[in-house]
Structure 1
Amino acid sequence: MSCINLFSIKVVAICLNLATIYAFHLTSNQDLLNNPDEIYACGGYRHLDRDYANCNKYNIQTNEWESIESLSIARNLFNLVAFNNKLYAIGGNHDSDNLDINEVYDPNTGNWTYTASLITKRFGAGADVLNNKIYVCGGRSDKNGDGQEISSCESYSTETGKWQSLAPMSVARSFHALVAHEGYLYAIGGESKETVERYDPKTNLWTPVASLTQKRSLPGAVVYNNKIYVCGGVTFHDKDPSNTCEAYDTKTNKWTQIVELDSNKWDLHLLVNDGRLYLAGGKDENIIELFNDKSKLWKRQTIMPLDYYGQGVAILTSK
């Protein structure tokens, strides 16, 4: 009887373990289905055409696109920022008018709603998230009627629901990158610029750091492998488009040329998801590519539904 009992106990234990594993597998798959990692692309315009408000999302797991509710205001050359599992559409251009109007998208409701406006109207600005705040710096503004580059910066807190003015950058920049890394903000390049400066939120001061190896306007930039990656861009307007990438090491304060893109690109976005580097957009090449760390090559994943210039692109993850 004892042998039979032991055998029965083992069989029950095995069944319970298998049931647990199976249940965990189902739960994990359901979590992915309910909370997928998605790349969003909104707004933009076509040459000599109107601005657009269309929005689409790309499910990385299923490799499928789906349209979502359009922006409340058509806009281009704006910032789309992922923050607290929501998307913020900030500033930009609408029918040649600069915007200070912002809106936020909640994926749980599928709706856009208006939120606090910027202090300064701007388009072509840089934006990123640091210390639970959204930072926006530079861009161009028609405040003086000439659409000149500006150096002003501001930050948004969801706790106060307000924007706060910050110390301006040392130089005015537009179509640059703004990247948060290791507690600082880095303003990188811009129209006809290769200079870089770093903002310390503790002191509210900007400090110059090593310059890029070349001028980059409308590049893609992101933190990857603990370095700041910057790819593509042009020197001015559509002049001298680049296919090069470089990485900044904060320890050595140096930029190093690294991988190349498969073609010259500008108006592109670099995104990181689950340790993988993605490229989205690119003027006249609205595609999404995945970088292979081993081969150092880019592989096309999908074509973006809308071939628009000046789109806002961001990623929401399940983690």
Structure 2
Amino acid sequence: MDPKSNTPSIQGLRWPQPCHMVGDNGSTPGTVRNLRTNDLGGVIFGCKNVTMKECLAKQLFGLPYAHFSYVCKIGPGLPLFLFNYSDKSMHGIFEAASYGQMNIDPYAWTENGTERTQFPAQVRVLTKTPCEPLSEKQFMTVIQSNYYSQKHFWFELDHAQANNLMLLFKPLSVPANFMKASFSSDKTNLLSALVTTKWKRIDGQENTDKIGDEIERKYSPELRKMDKFESIDFGNYEKLDNARKALSNVQYEGDIEEKIMDLDDNVQEHYLITNLHLAGENPLLDQQSKDEASFPNLEKVLHEPKMISIDHASSSLSLKDCKIDDPVPCIFPETCKRNILLPPSMEENRSTSDLQVNTELVEIIKRLTARTEELEKKQAESNKELQQLRGDVKESERMVQGLRDQINTLESRLHSSMLQGVTYMEECPEHEKVIYLIGGYNGSSWLSTFESFSPFNDKLVPLKPMSSARSYASVATLDDNIFVLGGGDGNLWYKTVECYNHRKKEWTSCPELIRPKGSLASATLDHKIYAIGGGDGVSCHSEVEMFDPMLGRWIYNQSMLHKRFATAAVEHNRILYAVGGYDGKGYLTSVERYDPREGYWSRSASMNLKRGCHSLAVFKDKIYAMGGFNGETMVSSVEILDPRLGSWMMGEPMNVPRGYTAAAVLGDAIFIIGGLQTTNDIWDTVEYWKEGSGWTICQSKTLGKRCFLSATSV
């Protein structure tokens, strides 16, 4: 259940969202682009300052249920980004470390981890490249086409958008004042730079106080006593580079001085060799020369590998060849060239040898660069093939599921034929009372089924299915036809209308609604069909469309006073009643009535309790509102309106709470079929009510789990 969107959700479903809202971790339901798996190049997840730390610490991102339609398409390696709603900044670059799933951590981003998470559409991540965050002004140009309002954008990115967004990011770097101090001979400056530097964590927040206070507390006495470093020697460039990156990205929790000394130890050896070589052959340097040679230019240390080249022949010289009284003692006598008297031939050939080594290094670098480019190109091709294979696998899974559905349908038909003597496309006998069940969702598939169900005999007879899967639809009857309006398949909202003719026993396409919508209500009045309220995943509607067979098309009729999504409506004594629903802010108790003789909607007596996703039925001149969702949980309550009295009374509640059911009146009973119990449980039971007997539950062996379906008993 997503309390922020006030819309119930279950695992694996894309839920219609009444309006644009922000969850506790900054996630935004909104609407979706519905990119295919092959076209999905990246995904943006949302957070706030209060949830970002947990996102990064757990290496886990999450969104509300409504986003699972594309989170389920995420596979390992897909680029991901994290948008912080608190400061409107984009963080990256991350990549998926798992497939998108439901409830990897069912208690993430909740207080003390004791409640179910509001953001179950989750994926595990790893940090591909820690980068400086982007402001909205920086990244909005890249995803401009994703903005569906001034401040709201879709989280799905195509390949071009994902690549262009990654190009905007700049890797985190060590602060300049620390780099300057690290190549200074003054240890006090180095520690002071650590104290005063504003280190940026991966989450983009500054972490100055923690480091500064810790260093001041532990090292202030030493800073006052210290004058100079001992002679520090730098080298081992790969370790040095790794150390710098670590210093720029981590949050220091240990001993700062220990980390600095680790850096000193890692760079000891090669820098001394470089220092000695730069000094030349003269063993007696003046103090100024020593100072200049002790800390060479960083550019040379990093980019002139020839300076650390030592002639292999010199390595055979012994310790006794070194001069003990040199101003700078020899630490590596076997490789030291500064204090060794080299033969004249070696002195003459030194520059030639250095040039040869440098040329060889350049050639090696060129070959490695070319090889790297070749490997990157092959990697890109492999990634493209992998994405295509993933798409093929998804398509194969859909085909397999479709075949399974067909097998189940055929087995059900065969079973029904054997038990009931009824074959496909044959209606039940005229004297047998049945309820027609249309579409819905069974926990794994969106259904296009059309079946007759006899609750008295627990018989389910498959009839000719609709042209496409359809849920959240509304049904109305006119003459000898059953009309199914709008709805969707879990990814798209429909404006299509299908009609089933009992005599011809087939479905035909009818004029379409003016715009796509689902979770709407419908009723027939004066030989016209009314489509009432509903929504399209972005907004809730108060509009009413009317179909007049004489005109052959849908036209707008008088709108209701309130927006009503997941509402219910009936016709009673030539008056339409629209009851409850969701208006984009909350669930309603209000009721409206439309009398075509007046030509406008007016307020009627309100219910006692809020409800939407409920069922409505007319039984013995009274209107029954049953079950539904009250904004927090499914309910079992029942309210009854007697139009002559003009007020709602509480009736006997159902045995179990349920919403998104199908309801129909058959004989002297009201039947409630299937529906949702909780966010993850779908009912496979039938419950019926008779005067004097109350509510009774029947276990059906043929119905199976089903919700979001439509029904009619005509």
Return the TM-score normalized by structure 2.
0.37
Query: Are the counterparts in 1 of residues 588 and 610 from structure 2 also a CA contact under 8 Å?
Result: yes
**What residue is the counterpart of 1:310 in the other structure?**
708
1:170 deviates by: 0.5
Distance in 1, Cα, partners of 2:510 & 2:493: 17
Q: Helix, strand or coil: the match of 1:165?
A: strand
**What residue is the counterpart of 2:496 in the other structure?**
101
Q: Helix, strand or coil: the match of 2:657?
A: strand
**What residue is the counterpart of 2:156 in the other structure?**
none
- Out of 638, 647, 652, the position equivalent to 1:245 is 638
CA offset digits 1:26-74 (Å, max 9, x no partner): xxxxxx8245332111212356x55321222113565411111111121
- Out of 431, 434, 452, the position equivalent to 1:57 is 452
**What residue is the counterpart of 1:272 in the other structure?**
665
- Code of the residue aligned with 2:435 in structure 1: it is I
Indicate whether 1:210 and 2:605 are aligned: yes
Distance in 2, Cα, partners of 1:215 & 1:61: 32
- Out of 44, 67, 77, the position equivalent to 2:440 is 44
Indicate whether 1:155 and 2:546 are aligned: yes
- Code of the residue aligned with 1:99 in structure 2: it is Y
Query: Are the counterparts in 2 of residues 291 and 299 from structure 1 also a CA contact under 8 Å?
Result: no
- Code of the residue aligned with 2:655 in structure 1: it is D
- Out of 122, 127, 132, the position equivalent to 2:517 is 122
- Out of 545, 562, 566, the position equivalent to 1:175 is 566
Query: Are the counterparts in 1 of residues 687 and 695 from structure 2 also a CA contact under 8 Å?
Result: no
State which drifts further: 265-274 or 189-198: 265-274
Distance in 2, Cα, partners of 1:230 & 1:299: 18
Q: Helix, strand or coil: the match of 2:429?
A: helix
Query: Are the counterparts in 2 of residues 82 and 88 from structure 1 also a CA contact under 8 Å?
Result: yes
- Code of the residue aligned with 1:261 in structure 2: it is M
**What residue is the counterpart of 1:16 in the other structure?**
none
Distance in 2, Cα, partners of 1:162 & 1:53: 24
Query: Are the counterparts in 2 of residues 286 and 304 from structure 1 also a CA contact under 8 Å?
Result: no
1:209 deviates by: 1.1
Distance in 2, Cα, partners of 1:158 & 1:112: 17
Query: Are the counterparts in 1 of residues 523 and 570 from structure 2 also a CA contact under 8 Å?
Result: yes
- Code of the residue aligned with 2:482 in structure 1: it is L
Higher helix share: 2
Distance in 2, Cα, partners of 1:244 & 1:168: 29
Distance in 2, Cα, partners of 1:301 & 1:180: 31
**What residue is the counterpart of 2:466 in the other structure?**
71
1:306 deviates by: 4.2
**What residue is the counterpart of 2:694 in the other structure?**
296
1:257 deviates by: 0.2
Query: Are the counterparts in 1 of residues 614 and 629 from structure 2 also a CA contact under 8 Å?
Result: yes
**Superposition CA RMSD, Å:** 2.1
Q: Any stretches of 5+ residues in structure 1 without a counterpart?
A: 1-31
State which drifts further: 35-44 or 245-254: 35-44
1:260 deviates by: 1.1
1:171 deviates by: 0.8
Indicate whether 1:33 and 2:424 are aligned: no
Return the TM-score normalized by structure 1.
0.81
Q: Helix, strand or coil: the match of 1:169?
A: coil
- Code of the residue aligned with 2:667 in structure 1: it is D
Query: Are the counterparts in 1 of residues 523 and 531 from structure 2 also a CA contact under 8 Å?
Result: yes
1:301 deviates by: 6.6
- Out of 593, 611, 620, the position equivalent to 1:198 is 593
Query: Are the counterparts in 1 of residues 564 and 581 from structure 2 also a CA contact under 8 Å?
Result: yes
Q: Helix, strand or coil: the match of 2:566?
A: coil
- Does the C-alpha gap of structure 1 residues 312 and 180 become closer, same or farther in structure 2, counting only changes over 3 Å? same
- Does the C-alpha gap of structure 1 residues 34 and 251 become closer, same or farther in structure 2, counting only changes over 3 Å? closer
Distance in 2, Cα, partners of 1:241 & 1:172: 21
Report the count of equivalent residues. 279
**What residue is the counterpart of 1:261 in the other structure?**
654
1:100 deviates by: 0.8
Indicate whether 1:136 and 2:531 are aligned: yes
- Code of the residue aligned with 1:103 in structure 2: it is E
- Does the C-alpha gap of structure 1 residues 272 and 50 become closer, same or farther in structure 2, counting only changes over 3 Å? closer
Q: Helix, strand or coil: the match of 2:655?
A: strand
1:250 deviates by: 1.2
The percent identity for this pair of structures is: 22
Query: Are the counterparts in 2 of residues 288 and 304 from structure 1 also a CA contact under 8 Å?
Result: no
- Does the C-alpha gap of structure 1 residues 240 and 206 become closer, same or farther in structure 2, counting only changes over 3 Å? same
Which structure has the higher relative contact order (CA within 8 Å, separation 6+)? 1
1:117 deviates by: 0.6
State which drifts further: 283-292 or 169-178: 283-292
- Code of the residue aligned with 2:673 in structure 1: it is A
**What residue is the counterpart of 1:29 in the other structure?**
none
1:157 deviates by: 2.3
- Code of the residue aligned with 2:672 in structure 1: it is L
- Code of the residue aligned with 2:521 in structure 1: it is G
Q: Any stretches of 5+ residues in structure 2 without a counterpart?
A: 1-427, 677-681
- Does the C-alpha gap of structure 1 residues 234 and 89 become closer, same or farther in structure 2, counting only changes over 3 Å? same
**What residue is the counterpart of 2:479 in the other structure?**
84
- Code of the residue aligned with 2:533 in structure 1: it is G
- Does the C-alpha gap of structure 1 residues 97 and 85 become closer, same or farther in structure 2, counting only changes over 3 Å? same
- Does the C-alpha gap of structure 1 residues 60 and 182 become closer, same or farther in structure 2, counting only changes over 3 Å? same
State which drifts further: 177-186 or 77-86: 77-86
Runs of 4+ in 1 over 6 A off after TM superposition: none
Distance in 1, Cα, partners of 2:712 & 2:592: 24
Distance in 2, Cα, partners of 1:181 & 1:228: 8
State which drifts further: 50-59 or 212-221: 50-59
Query: Are the counterparts in 2 of residues 127 and 136 from structure 1 also a CA contact under 8 Å?
Result: yes
- Does the C-alpha gap of structure 1 residues 35 and 119 become closer, same or farther in structure 2, counting only changes over 3 Å? farther
CA offset digits 1:153-179 (Å, max 9, x no partner): 011123332222101111100111111
- Code of the residue aligned with 1:275 in structure 2: it is D
**What residue is the counterpart of 1:287 in the other structure?**
685
